[in-house]
């Protein structure tokens, strides 16, 4: 890395970026492919890349998602142009011979279910966070959320696989007029220290 991003980029990614509850507009399939093509480069343990993403976009797919949504998330999710299901594959280690070819990384996980679960969940969560930042970098607004029935999502979208849902992210164009005032953040001395 040669130099810091400028203030405009930092604002877009962090300082003025907001979580949106109301998202409209359109998100093209090409934009979703660009989004994944950014996310895939971000780091994960042993390059394991356990996240699996479902871009719920069609009316049919939205209806599959509907029964799993909590009442508070139903309307905004059905109205969003795209909802991303961020999941993680509990068989991610089977791809390590391809993704991490310079060591027998698959053997680090095979037969160790707890290590598989914690690594998949941790790194899949990281990849979901990377997706939020990548979406912002492409000019999209995001609305990440819990508030859904994981078992119903897994049955509707991941049946017959070892992929488990983690959280959802609505994507689209947010309206700043619908935002409430920004909530405070903890100062450095309450959340961090330098040892």
Give the pLDDT confidence of 157-182 residue by residue, as tens digits.
Answer: 999 999 999 999 999 999 999 999 99
Q: And the tokens for 23? A: 């998202």
Query: Residue 137 and residue 131: Cα distance in Å, rounded?
Result: 10
Q: What is the pLDDT of residue 100?
A: 97
Token pair in block for residue 143: 């609305």
Percent of the chain with pLDDT strictly greater than 70: 99
CATH 1.10.3720.10 fits 25-171, yes or no: no
| 169 contacts 84 by C-beta, under 8 angstroms | yes
CA distance 50 to 151: 19
Tell whether the model's pLDDT for residue 87 goes beyond 90: yes
Provide the pLDDT for residue 2. Answer: 87
Structure tokens at 48: 């394991």
Q: How far is CA 101 from CA 37, 94, 108, 118, in A?
A: 21, 12, 13, 22
Q: Residue 163's pLDDT is what?
A: 98
| Number of other CB atoms surrounding residue 17 within 10 Å | 18
Closest CA to 80 of 31, 26, 132, 17: 26
CA distances 99 to 85, 102, 111, 171, Å, are: 23, 9, 19, 28
d(CA 37, CA 137): 12
């Amino acid at each position: 890395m040669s130099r810091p991003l400028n203030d405009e980029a930092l604002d877009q990614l962090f300082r003025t970026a907001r979580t949106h509850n109301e998202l409209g507009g359109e998100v093209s399939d090409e934009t979703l492919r660009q989004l994944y093509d950014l996310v895939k480069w971000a780091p994960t343990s042993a390059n394991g890349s356990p996240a699996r993403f479902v871009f719920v976009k069609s009316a049919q797919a939205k209806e599959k998602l509907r029964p799993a949504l909590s009442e508070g998330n139903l309307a905004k999710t059905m109205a969003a142009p795209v909802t991303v299901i961020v999941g993680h594959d509990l068989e991610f280690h089977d791809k390590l011979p391809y993704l991490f070819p310079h060591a027998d990384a698959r053997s680090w996980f095979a037969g160790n279910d707890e290590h598989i679960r914690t690594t998949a969940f941790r790194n899949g969560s990281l990849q979901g966070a990377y997706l939020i930042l990548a979406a912002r970098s492409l000019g999209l607004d995001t609305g990440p959320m819990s508030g859904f029935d994981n078992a119903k999502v897994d049955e509707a979208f991941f049946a017959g696989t070892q992929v488990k849902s983690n959280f959802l992210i609505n994507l689209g164009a947010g309206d700043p007029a619908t935002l409430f005032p920004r909530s405070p953040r903890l100062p450095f001395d309450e959340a961090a220290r330098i040892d």
